[in-house]
Amino acid sequence: MRNVQAGGIVQGGSTITQQVAKSMLLTPERKFSRKAREAILAYRMEKALSKEEILHLYLNQIFLGHGAYGIQAAAENYFAKDVEQLTLAECAMLAGLPQAPSRYSPYRHYGRAKERQRYVLGRMVDEGFITAEEAAEADKEQIKIHPRVNWNLTESAYFTEQVRRYLEANYGEELLYTGGLQVHTSMNMKMQRAAQTAVRENLREHDRRRGYRGPLQVLSAEEQEAFLAEQDAELGGVPPEPGRLTRGVVTAGSEREIQVRIGSFPGRIPLDSARWASPLRVVPRGNRAQGNATADQTRLPVGSVILVRVEESSDGPLLLSLEQETETQGALVALDPRTGQIRAMVGGYDFRQSQFNRAIQARRQPGSAIKPLLYAAALDKGYTAASVILDTPVIYQEKTEDGNIREWRPTNYSDSFSGATTFRSALTHSNNVVTIKILEDIGVGYALNYIRKLGITSPIARDLTLGLGSSALTPLELATSYAVFANGGIRLTPTYIVKIKDRDGRILESVDPGDFPRGPGRDQRLIRQIPERVISAETAYLITNLMEGVVHEGTGRRARALERPVAGKTGTTNEMRDAWFAGYVPQLVTVAWVGYDVERPLGRGETGGRTALPAWISFMQEAVKDMPPLRFPVPDDVEFHSIDTATGLLAPEDAPGAVIEAFAPGMAPTRYAMDERRIDARDLFRLDMDDL
């Protein structure tokens, strides 16, 4: 009758039995044909099962919010108890959830959940299950909510969504959602949580450096009262817990703090903790609101709605900190170079805001982070860490279609030139001009084929801008290529799934060949991970050794905070639109990226070393805590010689300016530098030491 009156389907009118039939045996589509099948199945269930058995099925599969299916799961989720331990008040609150779990969520809308609980208690009194006194006692009970955090929906959402996409693509929706699959992933939960925290905190820190953009809105006195009353109902008399981000209303201010109200709870923000938004003043209602990101100072009129984080929740006013939603995005991916298994993957600031996984879907220019791949190619073309290349201005000309001449003048980040520069120094200090000259010398085609075998699959421009990282690729691609260096020259295909079983325990896929007997179909079920040597162990070590220099003396110096052997490289693109850091220890390779989804500058001085490296460090400090500090293994035939850095020739170990350098077998220079035969490299493009 309701549907006829409304002219469409607005209500299902299902009994408990029909709901069980729909949820267990049918789809949720709103069609009369489904309703007819539901009625037939319900009739058959009534014939085969008792009411208690049907209710048992219902209570064990009904959705009760926040990923909880069934009463037991909900009891654990909300109250951290088993069903047998629930009080009458807690039972009544759960019984009120089936109508609308999200609307009556005790976690998000405690006030509504409390109203629904009173309704349930009243119906229990009406039906004679409890007395009015028992209902009143239950209503007075202070219920403590202990929401179980579902890490799959918070810290690991990007990872698990990628797994879901894989399962849907390879097994179909029906098996994915109804097959009872057991999926063992390569994710390390500790690393995943550290990765998500590192990305978020780093993005917030960058956003603070850009300044405060002002309040979310400014309320009138009447709007403020309504806003706080609604907020108070949602809180249900329970103050927000420490660590929570929430909205607050500015009520007053002084020279030392901002006074804020969250529902009925007063709070304060010490101005010392909001220096990134200073100078900051609270002004009377009606004044214009502004932030120091676009003006000379921050002005918060009374009634301003601002985003705050709860730092401490005690008997007095809540201790808060000023926050704002970040506009930048970030990504981080970490994998074990020995197995290719992805240990952590974060694709953005918040999965609930954007499901776009920037770790594997976003192609962005890597800037100088591409240079180690090209320098490795140069090593295999005869260059050594001691090769001397001239860092001087260079101009490239190209004739356009209209007959004009277009010039390209590559420059270094410092806008200066250093003259004769060693191969090592050029990578350590991310020298652009020297990289372009090296790329021109070895050939763009050769370099392109070389980085392809390292794991780069994205389209790459076939020109000299390749040396500056002008072609976009994904963070996972970059991590894959750096893993080749960390793994001694062996490339592995990244994987995030270790094993898949069906509901009967039959293995559908596995990385372990021992899980399958030999026979037909074995190869199809095996997640093949065939190690492939793509560069020599010597080249892998030499480029690793060069990137250790980047960390010790160059643009990646902050990574020394790990206090263990680290190799890595920063990456920054034109106008600071993308910031990268790719680095590794022997057991783990990690790539971090920061940028705007719609490309624009990150800000002055926001290089890879300042903007992306802090997230890398924060993650790695947690990720490697339980890993012993290891040195990168040195191949037996790598040679070490004392070198004169001015000429790249051999020198006595005690000679001024001499350093110990690593060489592939037979690649060390054979002559000694002499003070009276200093080589003038000003007019040379490259010094070929073997011909001197």
Across the chain, what does the average pLDDT equal? 89
Show the CA angle centred on residue 467, arms to residues 466 and 473, nearest 5°: 50
Q: How confident is the model at residue 27 (pLDDT cuts 50, 70, 90)?
A: low
Phi and psi at 636, nearest 5°, equal -60, -35
pLDDT tens digit string along 495-523? 999 999 988 888 888 888 777 666 555 44
Res 681: pLDDT: 41
Q: Band of the pLDDT at 673, cuts 50, 70, 90?
A: confident
pLDDT value of residue 683: 39
Q: What is the mean pLDDT of residues 426-439?
A: 96
Of all residues in the chain, the percent with pLDDT exceeding 70 is 92
Answer for the pair 687, 666: CB distance below 8 angstroms, yes or no: no
Q: Is pLDDT of 102 > 90? A: no
| Tokens coding 395 | 């101009």
Residue 286, Cβ density class (10 Å: 0-12 exposed, 13-18 middle, ≥19 buried) = exposed
Over 60: is that where the pLDDT of 470 sits? yes
Residue 632 pLDDT greater than 90, yes or no: yes
- Residue 553: closest CA among 434, 657, 427, 647: 427
Return d(Cα 160, Cα 351) in angstroms, integer. 11
pLDDT score for 9: 62
**Of the listed ranges 224-238, 459-473, 606-620, the one predicted with least confidence:** 224-238
**Helix/strand/coil for 278:** coil
Kind of pairing, strands 419-422 and 405-408? Answer: unpaired
Of the given ranges (233-247, 430-444, 467-481), which has the lowest mean pLDDT? 233-247
What pLDDT, on a 0 to 100 scale, did the predictor assign at position 597?
95
Q: What is the DSSP letter of 436?
A: H
Looking at the predicted structure, is the pLDDT value of residue 414 above 90?
no
CB 389 within 8 A of CB 432: no
**CB-based contact 578:364 (threshold 8 Å):** yes
More confidently predicted of 603 and 99: 603
Cα gap 356→351, rounded to integer Å: 8
pLDDT at 26: 66
Q: Which of 219-223, 238-242, 587-591, 642-646 has the highest mean pLDDT?
A: 587-591
Task: Report whether 450 contacts 373 (CB < 8 A).
Answer: yes
Contact 198, 332 (CB under 8 A): yes
The pLDDT value recorded for residue 503 is: 82
For residue 279, whether the previous peptide bond is cis, meaning omega lies within 30 degrees of 0, is yes
Query: Is the pLDDT score of 690 beyond 60?
Result: no
Span 337-388, pLDDT tens digits: 999 999 999 999 999 889 999 999 999 999 999 999 999 999 999 999 999 9
User: What tens digit of pLDDT does each residue of 549-591 get?
Assistant: 999 999 999 999 999 999 999 999 989 999 999 999 999 999 9
Quickly count: other Cβ atoms within 10 Å of residue 108's Cβ.
Answer: 15
SS3 661: strand
Structure confidence at residue 448 (pLDDT): 97
Residue type, 211: G
For residues 592-606, give the mean pLDDT: 95
Write down the pLDDT at residue 550.
Answer: 97
Please tell me which residue, 680 or 555, carries the higher pLDDT value: 555
Domains of the chain, first to last:
2-140 (1.10.3810.10), 211-323 (2.40.50.140)
CA–CA dist 18, 40 (Å, integer): 9
Contact 662, 541 (CB under 8 A): yes
Pick from 302, 225, 300, 301: nearest CA to 264: 225
247 has pLDDT over 50: yes
Q: How large is the average pLDDT for residues 112-119?
A: 91
The region of weakest confidence among 256-265, 277-286, 679-688 is 679-688
Q: Rounded distance, CA 444 to CA 435, Å?
A: 12
- Is the pLDDT reported for residue 678 higher than 90? no
Interval 655-672: pLDDT, tens:
888 999 999 999 999 888
Q: How many CB atoms lie within 10 A of CB 101?
A: 17
Task: State the DSSP code for 369.
Answer: G
Tokens of 253: 């201010």
Compute the chain's Rg from CA coordinates.
32
Q: pTM for this structure?
A: 0.79
Report CA 548 to chain centroid distance, whole Å. Answer: 25
- Residues 15 and 157: their CA atoms lie apart, in Å, by 35
Residue 569: both structure tokens together: 């490289």
Compute the distance between CA of residue 400 and CA of residue 176 in angstroms, rounded to an integer: 54
Phi and psi at residue 466, to the nearest 5° = -55, -35
- What pLDDT was estimated at residue 499? 93
